[in-house]
Amino acid sequence: MLVYGTELRSRLLLGTAQYPSPAVLAEAVRASGAEVVTVSLRREGVAGGGQGFWQLVRDLGVRVLPNTAGCHTVKEAVTTARMAREVFSTPWIKLEVIGEDDTLQPDVFGLVEAARILSAEGFQVFPYTTDDLVVAGRLLDAGCQVLMPWGAPIGSGRGINNPYALRSLRAHFPNVPLVVDAGIGLPSHAAQAMELGYDAVLLNTAVARAGDPVRMARAMARAVEAGRLAFEADPMEARDMAAPSSPVIGMPVFGA
C-alpha cells in the first residue's frame, strides 16, 4: 500500500491506547506485524506516558501516526496537529474532529475545514470520516490523499454497519487509498473490510481489550491478509439459487 509516497507492506494499522501494560502493547504490535501505530498526543499527556512511552514506540521501529483524538473543534484539531508534528517529527496526522459525543461521529464540516488548513501547511492528512461520498470528495479537494471512513462507531466492535456505502466509496474512488477505521471487533470484520477492496484496516479496542491482546493481534493480521487475498482472487458473485458444483452434462437420465 502506497500512502503519501511511503510504501507499507502491512495492511494493518494499530492503535496504542487501552492496553493492560506497555509490555503487552509492545508484544501485540510485534505480533500484528503493523508498521504504523496511532498515538494520541492528548491521551498520552493525560496518562503521563511521556518519554517512556515515546521510547517504547521508537524501540518497536514503527512509523507513528499522531492522532487528534478528543478534539471537537477545528481550532483544537489544528493546534493539536501542530503540536504533534513538533513532538513526533512527522508531517503525518490522523485528523479527528468529533461532532457527537455518544457515537463519536465526525463533524464532517469541521473535518473538511481542518483538513484544508493542515494540508496547506504541509501536513499529510489521514482524515477519520463517515462513509459519505460527498464528504469524501470534499476531503480530497481539501488536499487529502487517503480516506479513513468508519465501519461503525469507535470502540463499538459492531463491524461493518453499511457495506453498501463502503462499497460505493471504493467504486467511486478506485485509485485513492482507503482505510476502514473504527468499529472493527472481530477478525471476520477485518476480513470483510478487505474483501470489499479496502487497502487497510485501522483498529485499536478489538485488540487492546481482548482477553489475550497478543493472540488477537495475530488473528487480526491473518484476517487482513486473508481478506486482501480473497479480493485479489476475484471471488464469485452471490447467487439466489443453487448451482451444482459437479458437472451434469453427460449424466444418464432415467425415465419412469
DSSP secondary structure code for residue 147 in this structure: B
Q: Which residue has the cell 457527537?
A: 100
Domain extents for the chain? 2-232
Asked whether 26 and 36 are in contact (CB, 8 A), the reply is no
108-125 tens-digit pLDDT: 999 999 999 999 999 999
CA torsion sign for 103, 152, 10, 117 is negative
202-249 tens-digit pLDDT: 999 999 999 999 999 999 999 999 999 999 999 988 888 888 777 666
Stretch 148-162: mean pLDDT: 95
The more confident residue out of 56 and 230 is 230
122 annotated to a ligand binding site: no
What is residue 48's predicted lDDT score, i.e. its pLDDT? Answer: 45
What is residue 240's predicted lDDT score, i.e. its pLDDT? Answer: 86
What pTM was computed for the model?
0.90
Helix (H) or strand (E) holding 39: strand 36-40
157-195 tens-digit pLDDT: 999 999 999 999 999 999 999 999 999 999 999 999 999
| Bridge partners for 37 per DSSP | 14, 64
Whether the predicted pLDDT of 8 surpasses 50:
yes
Pairing type for strands 105-106 and 12-15 reads unpaired
Residues contacting 192, CB < 8 A, separation 6+: 159, 160, 163, 227
Supply φ then ψ for residue 101, to 5 degrees: -75, -35
Q: What residues are labeled active site?
A: 94
How far does the chain reach from its first CA to its final CA, in angstroms? 61
The residue among 151, 153, 159, 149 whose CA lies nearest residue 188 is: 159
45 annotated to a ligand binding site: no
204 annotated to a ligand binding site: yes
183 annotated to a ligand binding site: yes
Q: How confident is the model at residue 58 (pLDDT cuts 50, 70, 90)?
A: confident
243 annotated to a ligand binding site: no
9-33 tens-digit pLDDT: 999 999 999 999 999 999 999 999 9
Whether the predicted pLDDT of 98 surpasses 60:
yes
3-state SS assignment for residue 140: helix
3-state SS assignment for residue 113: helix
Question: Under CATH, what is the fold of the domain 2-232?
Answer: TIM Barrel (3.20.20)
